[in-house]
């Protein structure tokens, strides 16, 4: 609980200082504070808004709804129309499609000949997009392209000499700097809110590190600009963190540097191409890093290698820890997809992996990113061991057909998990491929390795579950 410092409490403070035998008084203590404060006043946004406001637009979308597609409340709408004369309700069975308003969002002009940036979700599924300026001019906009992964869309209106925003550098933003958002929350056009940048690179998406701020953003703000005190757009307001559906103090924006890279591709070809290696990855925990000799948690763990994909052809294996991509350090799992996605299709990338205690460089030919394809479940034909080992695992050999199907040279299947193994999350059906960087050949060898483990040290198991593989760290039973 925070209390204000009243006059009575100042006297109490002075008495406590004197009682301690010190020579300081409250005035002397205050005199020791820094002479100049870091913050001298609140910013005035008025001139800034006059400058950038005219380039922010309201976006309305409509779609054509055929008769009979009015949704689950169509009967209620027909009841209201017939008995209460409610206007605007589509007449049931009326011929031809009916145009209805679909959504409201925001956007901003980036060139005086009519290029507009907004979110992809603002224009998704729209049959018509209407852009309204602050001077009440309205234009029909053409969607040049939209990219769901980055949530960026580029529109074009047939006009010239339009006001436009200056594109800033989102790589130079600083946590704590003032920013403003302009948009149409709840269709309240050109509403302005202000706040500060809370974080520069929040990993809420696969391909974009979003800007976090405490600027108030609500439904209808989507697609509007996040602007710094120099009048430059540094992001596109895109998401909020909320339990209620409304603003709860946290909002996210697509960095303008990333948005412009996407926009350039959308303008040229109407789509965005991204590179892929054909792997699934997971974070490397502190426990896994220590068990594998990495020291600190860094890099990403390869949990699945797509059969016949670029990584598979290059020799990257499940259990590898990818440390660097073309010389750039991989610190978090979100780093690798962004670097690979930004790579040119057909280019050759050097991937540095940690494998069995050593680093090695592997050259990978980058292919074009495709839609995710569901994997096939692994067949199971186990033969159970008699009793759990020191880790609490009862395992069996893999059938030859199962190894061929999964393209495995060895490994064992977990038939029962108790004790320390169960506490670590291992369960029946898991496949164990390595113990502390040593390949598992069969159940006999696996149990022999477990028997030699130091009961006071953690052990890292490379575990495959369905279509993913990752390290699990457990301790033998004491």
Q: Mind telling me the catalytic residues?
A: 121, 151, 222
222 known member of a binding site = yes
Under DSSP, is residue 122 helix (H, G, I), strand (E, B) or coil?
Answer: helix
121 is annotated as contributing to ligand binding? yes
Are the C-beta atoms of residues 220 and 186 closer than 8 Å to each other?
yes
Angstrom distances, CA of residue 370 to CA of 14, 294, 310, 339, 341: 71, 32, 12, 16, 11
- CA distance readout (Å), 432 to 157, 292, 306: 58, 16, 19
Q: How far is 212 from 303, CA to CA, in rounded Å?
A: 30
CA distances in angstroms from 336 to 203, 249, 349, 436, listed in the order given: 12, 30, 12, 25
**Three-class SS state of 133:** coil
Nearest in space to 169 (alpha carbons), one of 253, 256, 278, 261: 256
Rounded to a whole number of angstroms, the distance between the first and last alpha carbons of the chain is 44
What is the Cα–Cα distance from 243 to 470, expressed in whole angstroms?
32
Q: Is 151 annotated as a binding residue?
A: yes
Tell me whether residue 77 is exposed, middle or buried, using C-beta atoms within 10 angstroms of its C-beta: 0 to 12, 13 to 18, 19 or more.
Answer: middle
**220 marked ligand binding residue:** yes
Q: Characterize the bridge pairing of strands 393-397 and 300-305.
A: unpaired
Q: What is the DSSP string of 455-467?
A: TTS-EEEEEEETT
Residue 275 bridge partners (DSSP): 368
Spatial separation of the C-alpha atoms in residues 104 and 89, rounded to whole Å = 20
List residues forming the annotated binding site for substrate: 121, 151, 220-222
List residues forming the annotated binding site: 121, 151, 220-222
């Amino acid at each position: 609980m925070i209390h204000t410092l009243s006059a009575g409490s100042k006297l109490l403070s002075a008495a406590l200082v004197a009682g301690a035998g010190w020579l300081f008084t409250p005035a002397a203590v205050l005199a020791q504070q820094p002479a100049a404060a870091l913050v001298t006043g609140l910013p005035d946004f008025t001139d800034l808004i006059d400058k950038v406001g005219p380039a922010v637009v309201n976006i309305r979308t409509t779609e054509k709804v055929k008769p009979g597609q009015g949704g689950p409340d169509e009967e209620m709408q027909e009841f209201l129309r017939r008995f209460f004369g409610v206007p605007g309700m589509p007449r049931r069975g009326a011929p031809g499609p009916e145009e209805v308003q679909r959504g409201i969002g925001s956007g901003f002009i980036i060139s005086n000949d009519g290029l507009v940036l907004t979110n992809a979700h603002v224009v998704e599924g729209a049959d018509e997009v209407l852009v309204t300026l602050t001077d009440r001019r309205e234009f029909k906009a053409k969607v040049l392209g939209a990219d769901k992964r980055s949530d960026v869309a580029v529109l074009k209106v047939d006009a010239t000499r339009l006001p436009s925003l200056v594109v800033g550098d989102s790589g130079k933003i600083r946590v704590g700097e003032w920013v403003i958002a302009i948009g149409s929350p709840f269709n309240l056009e050109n509403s302005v809110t202000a706040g500060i940048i809370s974080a520069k690179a929040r990993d809420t998406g696969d391909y974009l590190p979003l800007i976090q701020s405490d600027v108030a953003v609500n439904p209808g703000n989507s697609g509007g600009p996040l602007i710094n005190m120099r009048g430059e757009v540094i992001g596109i307001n895109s998401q909020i963190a909320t339990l209620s559906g409304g603003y709860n103090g946290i909002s996210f924006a697509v960095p303008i540097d990333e948005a412009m890279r996407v926009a350039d591709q959308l303008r040229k070809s109407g789509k965005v191409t991204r590179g892929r290696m054909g792997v699934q990855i997971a974070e490397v925990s502190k426990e896994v890093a220590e068990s594998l000799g990495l020291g600190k948690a860094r890099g990403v763990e390869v949990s699945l290698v797509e059969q016949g994909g670029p990584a598979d052809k290059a020799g990257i294996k499940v259990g590898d820890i990818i440390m660097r991509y073309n010389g750039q350090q991989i610190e978090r799992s979100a780093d690798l997809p962004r670097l690979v996605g930004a790579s040119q299709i057909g280019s050759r990338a050097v991937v540095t992996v940690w494998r069995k205690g050593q680093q090695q460089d592997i050259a990978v030919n980058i292919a074009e990113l495709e839609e995710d394809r569901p994997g096939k479940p692994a067949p199971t034909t186990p033969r159970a061991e008699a009793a759990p080992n020191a880790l609490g695992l009862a395992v069996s050999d893999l059938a030859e057909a199962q190894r061929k199907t999964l393209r495995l040279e060895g490994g064992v299947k977990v038939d029962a998990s108790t004790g320390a193994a169960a506490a670590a999350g291992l369960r029946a059906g898991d496949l164990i491929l390595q113990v502390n960087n040593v390949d598992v050949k069969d159940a006999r060898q696996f149990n022999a390795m477990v028997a030699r483990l130091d009961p006071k040290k953690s052990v890292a198991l490379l575990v495959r579950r369905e279509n993913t593989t990752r390290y699990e760290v457990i301790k033998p039973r004491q």
